Structure 1
Amino acid sequence: MSGTRREDRKLLVLPMASVVALLVMLSPVLAGRSQAQTPTSAVRKSAAVSRLNEPAVVVDAAPESDAAKPAPRPDAAVDVSGAARTVQSVVLFGAVSLAPVALLMITPFVRINIVLILLRQALGSPQVPGNQVLTALALLLSALIMRPVAERVYADAVEPYMAGRAGAVDAWNAGSIPIKTFMVDQIVMTEHQDYLTTLHERSRGGTPGAEQPERPEDFAIGVVAPAYILSELTTALKIGFMLYLPFLVIDLVVSAVLAAMGLFMLPPTLVSTPVKLIVFVLADGWLLVADMLLAGFSA
């Protein structure tokens, strides 16, 4: 029995000795791992301690109404300003495109151009002079007539506005006075006050017998301008009729002569056109017409 117990003890001692030897061999490796992990844990502990030592920051909760409102975007303001600039540009380009037409309507261009066109038809040459030549001549004569008015507009409105002594509204009011005075004077000179009176009454609601302004500058530009255009159209047709009469007489004389000679197959215009041209040139017709038009505005 004692022999078997000794053998059992030997069997137990041998595994324990091997385990101890294995632990002794692995102890350096375990020690290195613990040293490698120690700095990381120390850093984590120090970070946790620093966070605990930091003072607490109290954040006031915003009211629900303010929190619900979205923050304004700077892009929205940029878009609105860009749209406003676009609208202003469109309005400016539209005004610039309509400005030449408006200026021509309040100048003698309408009367002069119509008279020159009727004169060309009376001469029997509907293509000569060309439209561009007649338009250029009408523009130059209109500029010559409107020069005193333009000088007054520049002195009363443009120069003070450029110097900063007057605003845009004041400059507009001051500049419109010479133009309205010119148009009203032409309406009165051609005895077409009915146009001005009728349009003024219509602008007041159609009440007949409305009080008429005593001075030309008291009329609104929206009343004076259409009345002036109607007056110019009527005057131009009257002048055209008077220009047609001498050339109509030439046509009648030529037709009578051809009929007396029995030349019924010969077109009268083929003979009357050269006769009218030579008579117009010998009478210095262009100078007479231009002088008549200029005298009609300077009287």
Structure 2
Amino acid sequence: MRNLASLRSPRIAVLALLPALLLIVLAAPCQAQEKATATAPGGANATLIEPGDAMRTVQSVVLFGLVSLAPVALLMITPFVRINIVLVLLRQALGSPQVPGNQVLMALSLLLSALVMRPVGERVYHDAVEPYMAGKANAMDSWNVGAKPIKTFMVEQILRTNHQDYLWSIYQHSAESKAGLADPEEPDQFPLGVVAPAFILSELTTALMIGFYLYLPFLIIDLVVSSVLAAMGLFMLPPTLVAMPVKLIVFVLIDGWLLVAEMLLSGFSVSGA
């Protein structure tokens, strides 16, 4: 019994010391802060954050928030949606769903989108970013000036594809129409919150239409190959096994990738480019 009591006594002592150790650990930072406050000039007022530092912190948070929204902006205001969907449908029409890979199509879509949006980006930089960095314009004025060429680009693509009815359909569900304001008379007068979803819907419709046209020649090749195999009595041979190399060689001989890229680039109009 004495041995058991001697073994338990150190454990009990350690358990009794744990609350005291926790209090010491928690009190150490408070004591250090009190000492720093006492030694700093001005006492407690020295620990307050200056307005300039707070403003810089807020600006940094806003900047990081805008950077995190970059993928959303890439989908909203650029031709990336149309180009990427067309390239994916083209890959499926070729009969090779894994070649080229998604990374290759993504990179090609980004490069073609950057080529289309370069004139717009240059105007935004010269008209909005440079005056703001030079201190000649505030954030709100720079935003209004920078958003104008982007909205003009999206409106031009909507009108080019004859989807201006998308603007009116979305405008009827917007807050501006329910506020009793005067309806826009020109497409440029629609707010950016209406133009952006109408642009995405227009791009989706146009991309599917282009994909339909790209599917037709490959569908004809599939039908011809199937008819030839059926006429030869080769019913056990899958038609896709013979049609895929035929589609690949035909697509390569006509420089299909270059033709599709030129078609996608020519489908976008940029005023003042």
Say whether the fold is shared (TM-score over 0.5): yes
Is 1:139 the counterpart of 2:110? The answer is yes
Corresponding position: 1:273 with 2:231: no
Cα contact 1:201–1:209 (8 A) shared by 2: no
| 1:210-249 equivalent positions in 2, closer than 5 A | 211-214=183-186, 216=188, 218-249=189-220
Give the structure, 1 or 2, with the largest relative contact order (CA under 8 Å, sep 6 or more): 2
**Structure 1 position 271, deviation (Å):** 0.2
Cα distance, 1:167 vs structure 2: 0.9
AA paired with 1:253? V
Taking a change above 3 Å as real, the CA distance of residues 237 and 215 of structure 1, as seen in their structure-2 partners, is closer
SS in 1 for 2:220: helix
TM-score (norm 2): 0.75
Counterpart in the other structure of 1:125: 96
Report if the CA contact (8 A) 2:157-2:269 is conserved.
no
* 1:107 and 2:47 correspond: no
Matched pairs, number = 227
Which residue number in structure 2 is paired with residue 58 of structure 1?
Answer: none
C-alpha separation between the residues in 2 aligned to 1:296 and 1:258?
A: 39
Identity %: 73
Q: What aligned pairs does 1:154-193 form with structure 2 within 5 A after superposition?
A: 154-193=125-164
1:294 aligned to 2:269? Answer: no
Bigger radius of gyration: 1
* Cα-to-partner distance string for 1:8-34 (whole Å, 9 max, x where unaligned): xxxxxxxxxxxxxxxxxxxxxxxxxxx
Q: Post-superposition, which runs of at least 4 consecutive aligned residues in structure 1 deviate over 2 A?
A: 72-95, 204-210
Q: Go from structure 1 to structure 2 and tell me whether the alpha carbon gap of 1:207 and 1:95 turns closer, same or farther (over 3 Å shift).
A: closer
1:251 aligned residue (201, 213, 222): 222
Instruction: Determine the structure 2 residue equivalent to 1:65.
Output: none
Per-residue CA deviations over 1:184-243 (Å, capped at 9, x if unaligned) read: 010011000111111122213459996124261x32211111110000000000000000
Once the two structures are superposed, residues 98-139 of structure 1 have per-residue CA deviations (whole angstroms, 9 ceiling, x without a partner) of: 123213321011100000000000000000001111011111
Q: 2: CA distance between counterparts of 1:89 and 1:146?
A: 27
Change (3 A) 1:223 1:288: same
Query: Following the alignment from structure 2 to structure 1, what is the Cα–Cα distance between the partners of residues 202 and 180?
Result: 21
Tell me the equivalent position of 1:283.
Answer: 254
Q: Which amino acid aligns with 2:196?
A: A
Structure 1 runs not aligned, ≥5 long: 1-71
Residue aligned with 2:148, SS: helix
Q: Structure 2 counterpart of 1:260, which letter?
A: A
Q: Runs of 5+ in structure 2 lacking a partner? A: 1-42
Contact 1:184–1:228 at 8 Å: present in 2 too? yes
Residue pair 2:161, 2:206 contacting (<8 A) in 1 also: yes
Q: CA–CA distance in 1 between the matches of 2:137 and 2:268?
A: 31
Shift of 1:172: 0.5
Post-superposition offset of 1:165 = 1.3
- Which TM-score applies when normalising by structure 1? 0.69
Taking only aligned residues, the RMSD between alpha carbons, in angstroms, comes to: 2.6
